[in-house]
Structure 1
């Protein structure tokens, strides 16, 4: 799992420019690649130098099977990903980064208490993750990274069902292959699911980013190379293709993000009010436990015409931390049309928030 997130960080860094180049939904702000990269980097870096024996085990009602040393109480896949998910959630960037953070936190839950991944656990994790991501958005839209998550989850579940819950490494490999293959097909479909993508003749940037993340998981688990050919033929993704924002009108408004502790009632009220003020509302719990007063930690994301009313609403309900306000408009400077396959470790192009 540590190798997966590290590989995903490098891969998204290398592809960030091309992801930015085709990013036009929900707003054409050309930063999906940057946002995903920075969010995955936060998850990966939270595990650097970490002794897995130091990670506390997450309690679960499910029986824990032992596969010999190391002790599953000291090597907990769910606890590891929960730690990474929390780091991602606290620093998530944009729609795509926030949805990936939601995905990672939710995927950790069925893996709690387990020392290794298996096909049944992969199917459960992907399903939990895609359901949580769909529910985090007030107005979820097919043809986005949500559709890619769902397709991967359904494919992994089908393999698990066909093999009667077999937890061998062989079946895990089949499930990972099927998940990535389904993700590719889902990415291709996005072009015809969203009018904006169809008109621009491109696939969804967040969907491609999710495909890359899933292929990194397959690569890390199976010890195989990334499948670069998966991206062949994706519309708008060729190196020579320009950024598609040059001729588009500037998007007005701002993106507001924060982390805040709210009661369930206040959280429901905030979601309703933010839905009235703007769009792209994402609210998801950060961590699963309530505090002594019954309140939960939430990550909040919204696009609004003006920041002041949204910030005032947020402050009226609690004390936000990590609050940020960013312009949605693409900067006037022309972005560089360069390859998304930059040397590993190079800072990606894009409009960092």
Structure 2
């Protein structure tokens, strides 16, 4: 049976556009179930704004090389990344691009390689990676695609790609369901991980675009906490204190390791990911993310090793907690 497939650079552009639309449509519900690592109710917004930057860059890039195209999109996403989830999404796109350089068409072996590379890069970007998050969903999605590819013995046909895409999405859905019981915070709140749901929507968008289909209407049915009629979960949670600091900085690998150690001492949720090599090939541009009690010591530690750009400091406080001031 012939399977209608669109797996070239044009399809990747349409994928990113579909992701922007889909995450925009789901941002409110993703925000509503966002309680880990901080219950600040912004995962949906962060994913949407990050993918929007990636999509804009992709639409302006006319390369037929899907690796080059995704690299351009990921660089824009990295510069505009918001929060934990947005930063990990940017890392996901950048890592996926690596095995795809030189390819003008996606196939099952390349999909498996791209997802596996994304899993490795995402786990290594975090100082303290934890199961029950979008990391674990990415892990099982990569395993699903790899298992399908192995069973197909590296078949690069359209049929094989269709099978691998379905396997990745099916595994991701199972991974999302499992998150509720992998983290005590999620189990107590009776919700699944918001970042994991976002990644599931991203993967199903890829499947839908490449196979010329729609998103699965019942994909999110029954996911714990995702019922739109339920009360906003943050109303019963304590106000979040502290700040989120993000920036871009050029560092040598040694200085980057030193900065990571210092940020681990000062805060948590540390994510550091290299963006691109400098012309001298001795330093890399890094995207840095950390949650800390206050910004001054964090920014001082960063500036001790270089001058950061694109610096943002945001309070870790959800709008849903405004009632606590009464």
Confirm or deny a common fold (TM above 0.5): yes
Cα distance in 2, alignment partners of residues 9 and 332 from structure 1: 24
Given candidates 16, 21, 37, the residue that maps to 1:5 is 16
- Secondary structure of the residue that 1:259 maps to in structure 2? strand
Aligned to 2:7: none
Alignment counterpart, residue 32 of structure 1, candidates 37, 40, 43 = 43
Give the conservation status (yes or no) of the 8 Å contact 1:90–1:286: no
Q: Cα RMSD over matched residues?
A: 1.1
Structure 1 position 50, deviation (Å): 3.5
| Residues 95-104 or 323-332, more deviating | 323-332
The Cα shift of 1:332 comes to 5.8
Match of 1:298 in 2: 286
- 1:293 and 1:225 mapped to 2: Cα distance? 44
Q: How many residues align?
A: 312
* Pair 24,332 (structure 1): closer, same or farther in 2 beyond 3 Å: closer
Q: 2:255 — aligned with what?
A: 266
Partners of 2:65 and 2:80 lie apart in 1 by: 23
Aligned counterpart, 1:315: 303
The answer on 1:203 being equivalent to 2:192 is yes
Alignment of 1:231-250 (within 5 A): 231-250=220-239
Deviations 1:124-150 (A, max 9, x none): 000000110000000000000001111
CA contact (8 A) 1:22 1:244 kept: yes
Alignment check: 8 A CA contact 1:77 1:114 kept = yes
Change beyond 3 A, Cα 1:21–1:125? same
Match of 2:76 in 1: 87
- Distance, in Å, in 2 between the alignment partners of 1:330 and 1:7 is 27
Give the Cα separation in 1 of the matches to 2:248 and 2:101. 24
Give the structure 1 partner of residue 27 of structure 2: 16
Q: Which residue of 1 aligns with 2:317?
A: 329
Q: Which has the higher contact order (CA 8 A, sep 6+)?
A: 1
1:189 aligned to 178, 184, 192, which one? 178
Unaligned runs of 5+ in 1: 53-74, 336-353
1:135 aligned residue (124, 134, 137): 124
Report the CA distance between 1:329 and its aligned residue.
1.6
SS at match of 2:314: strand
Matched with 1:51 is 62
- TM superposition shift of 1:47: 1.9
CA distance in 2, matches of 1:85, 1:273: 27
Q: Deviations over 1:318-337 (max 9, x none)?
A: 010000000002236669xx
SS in 1 for 2:236: coil
